[in-house]
């Protein structure tokens, strides 16, 4: 782009966030597939996050559980699998091949090599790579016959999965590992199995495995371009640092993909350079009125960028993040995080403002309305985030 670089300030970045992340009422979706497609990926490490993130963005939140279950387990239009940064996400099924080729292959090769090394050295040579190949083929065949299965069910079909080896022999972290759990994680990263239906309710972390749906094998560079293009369309402008963090790629891969898709450089506040897709340079008008949202821990909006000062004040982070950098439940007002929320033992949704700058009665009323909306569709369900944060612990114990 010739001439002066276009500047996109904080106000416009927040406007883009509101509309493209489907957080303002007029932008809410009718189906989970629309939400996942808009956000590219929903964090799936905590199963409840998927449902809460979708519910915050549906026009009819009361249909959240039934609709997400339909998409994941009946229509299979959404799939839960490993993706960026070796993290579990829920993607539109059509993106499985893109995610696998763009981010999964490199991680998978390292994961398999590590498993083989740990297993062979930790079993005094009793468990070999050839042995693992036999067990793996048998386990996959059993899983295909069953359709979905827990690890315990698979070990009944293939008892060798119960074999153990010593992980980290001689180290302070030495511990026994079972072949079954270690192998299924590697197969998940390789995109050969995916997480299936949970054991129990939608908040359960216990799940079945299923054979991954077939998908074409794409060239890695082509897949990286497609993933970056989709993500920039939702989250642009974003910096190289944001892209490197979100994808888990090397900076050289990020730069190559940016060039290949013809991304346009724009200036952000403090002299930082960001990027948008070609054709997304024009100004974006914000929502017609301020908006409120209650988002769950690990929500893709709160976790979407590495550099978050433009929507999350650094002073709020100690209360809203755990020690590993996982964000807890957040309260939003007009494009920025202003507090957090939690559920008490009786299921009541409670919230607290941490950033009260320019927040008047309208803001508090709107946030109360979103809390009531969340409370209505949760009903008697009690949700405890997998990663507890200081404010969430304090609020939930009140």
269-288 per-position pLDDT tens digit:
989 999 999 999 999 998 99
Residue whose token pair is 């897709």: 277
Is residue 360 domain-shared with residue 239, that is, in the same domain? yes
In this structure, the number of other CB atoms found within 10 A of the CB of residue 247 comes to 20
- Is residue 177 in some structural domain? yes
Beta bridge partners of 336: 333
Average pLDDT of the segment spanning 179-186:
92
Residue 102 and residue 54 share a domain: no
Q: Report which of 30, 90, 45, 51 is spatially closest to residue 379, judged by C-alpha positions.
A: 51
Whether residues 244 and 345 share a domain: the answer is yes
What pLDDT score does 3 carry?
Answer: 64
| Mean pLDDT within 212-237 | 94
Q: Would 81 be classed as within a structural domain?
A: no
115 and 42 within one domain? no
Q: What percent of the chain has pLDDT over 90?
A: 81
Last residue of a domain, one of 146, 181, 211: 211
83 in any annotated domain: no
Tell whether 87 is covered by a domain. no
Beta bridge partners of 203: none
Q: Which of 34-38, 205-209, 307-311 has the lowest mean pLDDT?
A: 205-209
pLDDT at 1 over 60: no
Q: Is residue 86 part of a domain?
A: no
224 and 189 in one domain? no
From 211, 231, 265, give the residue that closes a domain. Answer: 211
Domain range for 124 is 94-211
Out of 180, 211, 242, pick the residue that ends a domain.
211
Structural domains of the chain, count? 2
How far is 197 from 206, CA to CA, in rounded Å?
9
Q: Yes or no: say if 336 and 14 are a contact pair by the CB < 8 Å rule.
A: yes
Chain mean pLDDT for the chain: 93
CA 396/CA 398 separation, integer angstroms: 6
User: Helices 105-121 and 129-146: crossing angle, nearest 10°?
Assistant: 120
**Residue at 84 is within a domain:** no
Question: How many angstroms separate the CA atoms of 156 and 149, rounded?
Answer: 11
Residue 379 has pLDDT above 60, yes or no: yes
In a domain, 89, yes or no: no
How far is it, in rounded angstroms, from Cα 300 to Cα 49? 9
Q: How many whole angstroms separate alpha carbon 171 and alpha carbon 151?
A: 28
Task: Give the E-state strand segments of the chain in sequence order.
Answer: 42-43, 78-82, 88-92, 148-149, 164-167, 175-178, 193-198, 207-211, 264-267, 273-276, 292-295, 330-333, 336-343, 349-353
Whether residue 199 has pLDDT greater than 80: yes
Answer whether residue 206 shows pLDDT above 80.
Answer: yes
Does residue 30 sit in the same domain as residue 140?
no
43 backbone dihedrals φ, ψ, rounded to 5°: -60, 130
Do 153 and 191 share a domain, yes or no?
yes
Read off the pLDDT of each residue in 83-112 and give the average, rounded to a whole number.
90
Same domain, residue pair 126 and 242: no
130 with 273, same domain: the answer is no
Sorted by sequence, the CB contacts under 8 Å of residue 207 that are 6+ apart come out as 47, 150, 195, 196, 197, 198, 199
Compute the radius of gyration of the chain from its Cα atoms: 22
Please count the residues of the chain: 398
- Arithmetic mean of pLDDT, 64-78: 95
- Sheet holding 330-333: strands in order across? 292-295, 330-333, 336-343, 349-353
Residues 103 and 145 in one domain: yes
| 2: pLDDT strictly greater than 70 | no
Whether residues 151 and 22 fall in one domain: no
Rounded Cα distance between 243 and 228, Å, is 8
Q: 3-state class of 338 per DSSP?
A: strand
Give me the helices (H) in 248-290, please.
Answer: 251-260
d(C-alpha 232, C-alpha 277), whole Å: 6
Which pLDDT value is given to residue 213?
A: 83
Per-residue pLDDT at 191 exceeds 60: yes
Please, are residues 103 and 83 in contact by the beta-carbon 8 Å criterion? yes
In a domain, 85, yes or no: no
Q: Using one digit for the tens of pLDDT, what is the confidence trace for 127-167?
A: 999 999 999 999 999 999 999 999 999 999 999 999 999 98
Burial call 93-127: b when 16+ CB within 10 Å, e when fewer: bebbbbbbbbbbbebbeebbeebbebbbebbeeeb
How far apart CA 315 and CA 197 sit, in angstroms, is: 39
Let me know whether 225 and 356 are in one domain: yes
């Amino acid at each position: 782009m010739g001439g002066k670089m276009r500047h996109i300030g904080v106000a416009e970045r927040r406007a883009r966030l509101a509309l493209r992340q489907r957080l303002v009422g007029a932008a809410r979706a009718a189906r989970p597939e629309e939400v996942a497609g808009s956000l590219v990926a929903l964090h799936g490490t905590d199963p409840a996050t998927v449902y809460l993130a979708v519910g915050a963005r549906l026009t009819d939140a009361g249909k959240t559980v039934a609709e997400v279950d339909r998409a994941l387990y009946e229509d299979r239009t959404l799939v839960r699998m490993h993706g960026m940064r070796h993290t579990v996400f829920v993607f539109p099924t059509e993106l499985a091949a893109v995610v696998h080729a763009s981010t999964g292959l490199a991680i998978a090769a390292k994961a398999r090599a590590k498993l083989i090394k740990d297993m062979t050295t930790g079993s005094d040579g009793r468990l070999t790579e050839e042995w693992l190949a036999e067990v793996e083929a048998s386990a996959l065949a059993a899983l295909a016959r069953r359709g979905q299965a827990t690890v315990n069910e698979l070990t009944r079909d293939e008892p060798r999965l119960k074999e153990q080896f010593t992980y980290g022999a001689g180290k302070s972290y030495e511990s026994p590992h079972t072949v079954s759990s270690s192998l299924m994680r590697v197969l998940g990263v390789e995109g050969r199995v995916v997480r299936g239906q949970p054991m129990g309710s939608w908040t359960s972390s216990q799940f079945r495995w299923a054979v991954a749906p077939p998908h074409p094998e794409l060239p890695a560079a082509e897949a990286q371009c497609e993933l970056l293009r989709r993500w920039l369309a939702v989250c642009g402008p974003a910096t190289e640092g944001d892209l490197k963090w979100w994808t888990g790629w090397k900076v050289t891969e990020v730069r190559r993909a940016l060039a290949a898709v013809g991304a346009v450089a724009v200036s952000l506040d403090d002299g930082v350079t960001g990027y948008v897709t070609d054709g997304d340079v024009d100004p974006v008008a914000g929502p017609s009125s301020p908006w409120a949202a209650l988002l769950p821990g690990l929500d893709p909006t709160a976790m979407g960028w590495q550099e978050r000062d433009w929507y999350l004040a650094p002073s709020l982070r100690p209360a809203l993040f755990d020690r590993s950098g996982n964000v807890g439940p957040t309260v939003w007002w007009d494009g920025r995080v202003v507090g957090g929320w939690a559920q008490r033992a009786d299921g009541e949704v409670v919230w607290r403002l941490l950033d009260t700058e320019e927040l008047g009665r309208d803001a508090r009323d709107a946030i109360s309305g979103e809390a009531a909306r969340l409370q209505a569709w949760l009903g008697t369900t009690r949700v405890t985030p997998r990663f507890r944060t200081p404010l969430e612990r304090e609020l939930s114990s009140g």
